[in-house]
Amino acid sequence: MLKLIIPNARLQASYIDYIEELGSEERYPFPLDFDHRDFAAMLARIEGFRTGASVPPGFVQSSTFWLVEGDEILGCTNIRHRLNAQIEHCGGHIGLSIRPAFRGKGLGKALLEFSLDKARELGITNIHIHCHTDNAASRAMIEACGGILDSQIEVDGSHVSRYLIDL
């Protein structure tokens, strides 16, 4: 049974396996880039973002959740509680990923649906969600969850598709 949970220490081994499986792949959402060698400190950093107690300049308050089955992490999502101008331009409310071994099984759509429910609980009514234009799987997932293409931009040589989802 799939569950969406707040990160916890019980899943440390699965998290480390997830990061190793990603290898040199660009990591989404951004908390996957946090230093995990001190796992308790990493969890505290994620919690600081959730509560708003320790959000660095340029960032906004956000909540991170792991998609799990049993004791295995299958994916990760991060929901920004609000947007600043930079994140509205490129980034959006939701960043998510599915662990490589579990891709192509519809889990991305399930994770985005979970994320939209959490965003609704946070009072967000108009979701901005962005992806690389050449990522057909992400575009299809966003569109399957009601995403309407708003615009396409170029950022640092990459093309980004910007979608809106009305909750």
What is the pLDDT confidence band of residue 1, given thresholds at 50, 70 and 90?
Answer: confident
Return the pLDDT at 20.
Answer: 95
Return the pLDDT at 73.
Answer: 97
pTM: 0.94
Ranges 27-31, 52-56, 87-91, 158-162: which has the least confidence: 27-31
Q: Which helix (H) or strand (E) holds 118?
A: helix 107-121
- Decide if 78 contacts 62 (C-beta within 8 A): yes
What is the pLDDT confidence band of residue 16, given thresholds at 50, 70 and 90?
Answer: very high
- Rounded to an integer, the average pLDDT of 73-87 is 97
Return the pLDDT at 155.
Answer: 94
What is the pLDDT confidence band of residue 141, given thresholds at 50, 70 and 90?
Answer: very high
- Rounded to an integer, the average pLDDT of 88-110 is 96
Residue 55 to residue 41: CA distance in whole angstroms: 15
Give me the helix-helix angle, 136-144 and 107-121, nearest 10°.
Answer: 50
- Decide if 36 contacts 66 (C-beta within 8 A): no
Phi, psi of 156 (to 5 degrees): 50, 40
- Using alpha carbons only, give the angle 72, 76, 81 rounded to the nearest 5 degrees: 145
Name residue, tokens 């759509």. Answer: 109
